[in-house]
Structure 1
Amino acid sequence: MPFEETRRYAHCVTPLWRAVIGPRGKDRAPVGCAHVNRPTHSTPTLSLFALPCLHGVERSVDGLLARRRNPTACMAPHADPYLRASTPHGNRLGRLLWSVGYHTLFRFTPRPLHAWRAFVLRLFGARLGRNCHVYPGARIWAPWNLECDDVVGIADGAVIYNAATIRLGSHSVISQEAYLCSATHDIDDPAFPMTSSPITVGRHAWICARATVCPGVTVSEGAVLGLNGVATKDLAPWTVYAGIPARAIKKREQANER
């Protein structure tokens, strides 16, 4: 320990030591009658109860000296940006209520009860058109950020991670275990904050099983994202995409009645 820090350490500990062991020498109060002579010197006796106290004092002083040497190394836990909540309190409360509703009113309902599940989603703020088929195994992060036109299908195991709004056009299909992810993190910011961008899936588009749509992507009308494909950019209308990242592989025939 450097000399200057040793002086500070002794300056902090000495008064506390004396407070624990009592006064010394001429400062000690007389014992018994007033005629008893005060001792010229005495050896301090340390109580067993004082040892934990002094140990705590030593640790506190060491902590103070460490903070002087490196103020950022001893930051309070709440100062670490990684420990901050990514969403506001109101959002977390809403998702807590939705979690209760999901497991009691939605998840274990019979598969044919599409109208009931649509009612439950609307109860939590979703905007759904007519004849939407949302299956009981679908996982929707925030119903109030879900917008569906008429005749939309969301299959079992599909994940709608809608930290931002996700819009599904009429007759669009989200197949099993597809992942629509509207949020990510800013990897260039030391605080690593969550960012979100809306996703739009157009009319008659199809997101195949286990395919992923990234934040901010628009899947245009009639586009198809193939099995396990990852859409990182907008998909053109009536085009079939596949791969990681998704690439156009063919045009999709557009029927006249569409």
Structure 2
Amino acid sequence: MKLERHTPGRVSLGIKLKRVVWNLTSALLFRPFITPVFRKWRLLLLRMFGAEVEWDANVYASVKVWAPWMLRLGHRACLGPEVICYNQDLVVLEDDAIVSQYSYLCTAGHDIDHANTADSGLITAPIVLRRGAWIGSRAFIGMGVEIGENAVVGATASVYKNVEPWTVVGGNPAKFLKKRIIKENK
């Protein structure tokens, strides 16, 4: 998957209308159903709007998804409480990837190299969390970022560059802290 930035152009009327319908559906039929009993109901709604979501994934009712049709969740992937998934481009959580509470996944921004940022074009790039990646609470993941397999992003970290597999990063901007070694339970 190419994670490079691109300019999608104006948001079409069709997408705007789809977003209106999604926002109404989310407000009336997704967000009010807060208990785990309704987990599959929420997944069904996401699927109805084009998300590719495995049935054993979990998306909390308080999650805000900008465009379900740009969301892919693998087996046991999880978007935790109050996560904001601003996915104007594709967001992929592979199997067992977890995004903890209050985190922000942001696939869009503006081209700041223009003199007048109000006139600068929208740019987007996908976000990919590889198998077993874990995003800590209140982390920010920027557009075009790939979090490697079994990597950990510490709480409150801001990630603007790819994170290598089996590493732990933290801070703002996120920096390498250590290699991740999983110890066996005895």
Q: 1:150-186: CA deviations, max 9, x gaps? A: 1111111101110000100111111111001000100
| Larger Rg over CA atoms | 1
Aligned: 1:208 with 2:132? no
1:122 matched to which residue of 2? 47
Q: 1:72-122: CA deviations, max 9, x gaps? A: xxxxxxxxxxxxx95221111111000010011100003211111000100
Larger strand percent: 2
Higher relative contact order (CA 8 A, sep 6+): 2
Q: Structure 1 residue aligned with 2:59, among 134, 141, 148?
A: 134
Per-residue deviation, 1:255: 6.2
1:217 matched to which residue of 2? 145
TM-score in terms of structure 1 length: 0.64
1:110 matched to which residue of 2? 34
Percent sequence identity is 35
Q: Is the 8 A contact 2:43 2:55 kept in 1?
A: no
State the alpha-carbon separation in 2 of the partners of residues 86 and 226 from structure 1. 35
Larger helix percent: 1
Kindly report structure 1 stretches of 4+ aligned residues shifted beyond 2 Å. Answer: none
TM-score in terms of structure 2 length: 0.89
For 1:200, what is the secondary structure of its paired residue? strand
What is the root-mean-square deviation in Å for CA atoms of aligned residues?
1.4
Q: Is the 8 A contact 2:51 2:68 kept in 1?
A: yes
Letter in 1 for 2:65: I
Q: Structure 2 residue aligned with 1:181, among 106, 109, 124?
A: 106
State the alpha-carbon separation in 1 of the partners of residues 183 and 65 from structure 2. 32
Gaps of 5+ in 2: 1-8
Gaps of 5+ in 1: 1-84
State the alpha-carbon separation in 1 of the partners of residues 90 and 172 from structure 2. 24
1:33 matched to which residue of 2? none
